[in-house]
Amino acid sequence: MQNKMKKNISFIPWFAVIFTLLLSGYASAIDFTAAEKIKLKQGRTVVKMLPTSGQKGFYGGSGYALINATVDEVWKVLTDWPAYTEILPNTEVCAPVSKKGNKTLIKMKIGHPVANVRYHVEATENELEKSLHFQLISKYPHDIDSLTGYWRLFPQSGGRTLAAYVVSVKAPPGIITIAGDDLANRAVGNMLKFPGYIKRWIEGPNGKKYRK
């Protein structure tokens, strides 16, 4: 049992480091390379896979995009749950089930030709900090072992926003066997591009309803 715990927590330190950086409240705390800074300025999405991603069924990393919209406008998109089925690829269901205070229970279904994944997450909003934490709720049916993540929006000059997204997923052996490790890594890599999909959505015709 102890050996299993040691294997499972090997993923956590890297994930905790990213969380700490985002919680600092300063975009400058994120260590971008010169090439990554250029990508952001070009309107591209920066994806950072964790070095331990793919080990022991854990997958994860972080994604970033510089969005031509204010933090308040981007925040409206992040909390527009029904729109996720149009914004994010393969998202077939994103339906709020209940809401209590700043916590919303959301039913999710991610479709894929190889395997469909269903689960419920609880999203905790902090509108003042423009941060959004989400976590799988295990008492509801779920096809993955765990999922936790975090959004953080940083205001930038010119009314722009740096959107930062972190996610960690623990996939059961059955899904990895069906999908294969390479496909699982690519699926998580696609998840880390979510800031770019948010950028495309709000900067396009669909973004008008979120703007002042």
Q: Which domain CATH number covers 28?
A: 3.30.530.20
Q: How confident is the model at residue 38 (pLDDT cuts 50, 70, 90)?
A: very high
Structure tokens at 59: 């997958």
Domain with 79, as residue range(s), is 2-210
Q: Is the pLDDT of residue 122 over 70?
A: yes
User: What is the pLDDT at residue 50?
Assistant: 81
Q: What value does the mean pLDDT of the chain take?
A: 83
Rounded to an integer, what distance in angstroms lies between the CA atom of residue 164 and that of residue 199?
A: 12
Number of domains in the chain: 1
Q: Is the pLDDT of residue 40 over 50?
A: yes
Rg (CA), the chain: 17
Q: Is the pLDDT of residue 178 over 60?
A: no
DSSP assigned state of 32: -
Q: What do you get for the CA distance between the two ends of the chain, in Å?
A: 55
User: What is the pLDDT at residue 9?
Assistant: 35
User: What is the pLDDT at residue 5?
Assistant: 35
> Region 12-41: what's the mean pLDDT?
67
Q: Is the pLDDT of residue 204 over 60?
A: yes
Specify the higher pLDDT residue, 176 or 166: 166
